[in-house]
């Protein structure tokens, strides 16, 4: 059977909550679990985790032995090899939460592709155990590894997150770059409640609130607030809507986005700690500044 062509390497990036993982899920929709291998990178992810390595197993006689345990790359490549008539995907969530070039190791060379999506170059099997496992899974005694035209690698990342690793130019240029922009038309339906006084609450459509919030952050606070650090329209799920703003949004605004500048512009004067902010929220007192409340159509807040 001819092998399907068109495999690609694509990084989806953008602000948190814009729908990067959703976009990948739509891309792979209908493929079925056998054709999608998904992994998440984290700071402790190593080359051996990604490719595969020898791991201890209990043999049938009860003794301890060792055998090759495939990583997500080995699994995805072998599945694609055995099924040439369909496209397969290796999905890497949070690509830059690990040192990606180091995790790929010698597989870095495989990322260059021909026009049909097949890898331009080959590399040696990283270990004899991997080569033996490959032969047992595919029936093919390949001398080298090459990326297949029916295997796409799709990765997500947020370059503005704290604690992430930079991607060097040599690594990143081997990927297509797809920026997932803010799109409030795709925001989940629902409302959020914003306290304007100890007795008054405004109920606001989430899509209106988040678009106004981002406009306010970009124009009133401005310096240091890049687009990929704003709040994505999918930051909150439908189940989190319908009541007061959840803590995960407040902590993102307070601790990640406005750690060094702007808290005094978005939040009420005199609130010095996140503990004070959450206490006011739980007591039904306003937490936002008059300036921001005016932007969302509210009146000047009072604590009475």
Co-location of 43 and 96 in the same domain = yes
Same-domain check for residues 76 and 105:
yes
Residues 121 and 39 in one domain: yes
Does a structural domain hold residue 3? no
The verdict on 43 and 163 lying in the same domain is yes
User: How far from each other are the two terminal CA atoms of the chain, in whole angstroms?
Assistant: 75
Instruction: Give the residues across from 152 on adjacent strands.
Output: 89
pLDDT band at 301 (very low <50, low <70, confident <90, very high): low
pLDDT class for 16, splitting at 50, 70, 90? very high
> Are 39 and 106 members of one domain?
yes
Q: Are residues 26 and 146 in the same domain?
A: yes
Q: Is residue 233 part of a domain?
A: yes
Helices (H), 100-257: 100-104, 128-138, 169-172, 206-216, 247-251
In terms of phi and psi (left: phi > 0; alpha: psi -120 to 50; beta: otherwise), the region of 4 is: beta
pLDDT in tens, 206-258: 999 999 999 999 998 876 688 888 999 999 999 999 999 999 999 999 998 89
Do both 190 and 85 map to the same domain? no
Tell me: do 240 and 155 sit in the same domain.
no
pLDDT for 142:
82
Domains: count for the chain: 2
Same domain membership, residue 97 and residue 67:
yes
Could you tell me if residue 106 is inside a domain?
A: yes
Domain that residue 194 falls in: 184-295
* Residue at 45 is within a domain: yes
Q: Which of 129, 153, 179 is the last residue of a domain?
A: 179
Query: For 160-171, what is each residue's pLDDT tens digit?
Result: 776 688 888 999
| 229 and 171 in a common domain | no
- Among residues 179, 205, 238, the one where a domain terminates is 179
When pLDDT is cut at 50, 70 and 90, the band that residue 42 belongs to is very high
138 and 273 inside one domain: no
Together in a domain, 225 and 130: no
């Amino acid at each position: 059977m001819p092998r399907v062509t068109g495999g690609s390497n694509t990084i989806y990036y953008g602000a948190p909550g814009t729908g990067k993982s959703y976009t990948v899920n739509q891309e792979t929709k209908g493929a079925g679990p056998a054709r999608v291998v998904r992994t998440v990178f984290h700071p402790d992810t190593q080359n051996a985790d990604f490719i595969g390595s020898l791991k201890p197993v209990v043999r049938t006689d009860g003794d301890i032995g060792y055998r090759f345990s495939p990583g997500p790359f080995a699994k995805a490549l072998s599945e694609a090899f055995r099924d040439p008539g369909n496209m397969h995907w290796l999905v890497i969530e949070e690509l830059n939460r690990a040192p990606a070039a180091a995790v790929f190791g010698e597989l870095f060379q495989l990322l260059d592709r021909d026009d049909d999506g097949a890898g331009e170059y080959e590399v040696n099997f990283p270990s004899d155990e991997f080569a033996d496992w490959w032969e047992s899974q595919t029936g093919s005694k390949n001398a080298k590894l090459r990326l297949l035209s029916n295997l796409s690698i799709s990765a997500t990342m947020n370059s503005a997150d704290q604690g992430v690793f930079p991607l060097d130019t040599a690594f990143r240029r081997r990927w297509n770059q797809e920026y997932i922009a803010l799109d409030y038309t795709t925001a989940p339906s629902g409302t959020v409640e914003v306290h304007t006084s100890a007795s008054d609450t405004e109920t606001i459509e989430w899509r209106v609130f988040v678009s106004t919030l981002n406009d306010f952050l970009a124009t009133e606070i401005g310096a240091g607030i890049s687009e990929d650090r704003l709040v994505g329209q999918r930051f909150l799920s439908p189940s989190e809507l319908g009541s007061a703003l959840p803590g995960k949004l407040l902590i993102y605004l307070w601790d990640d986005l406005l750690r060094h500048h702007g808290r005094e512009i978005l939040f009420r004067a005199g609130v010095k700690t996140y503990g004070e902010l959450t206490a006011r929220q739980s007591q039904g007192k306003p937490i936002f500044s008059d300036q921001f409340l005016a932007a969302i159509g509210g009146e000047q807040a009072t604590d009475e």
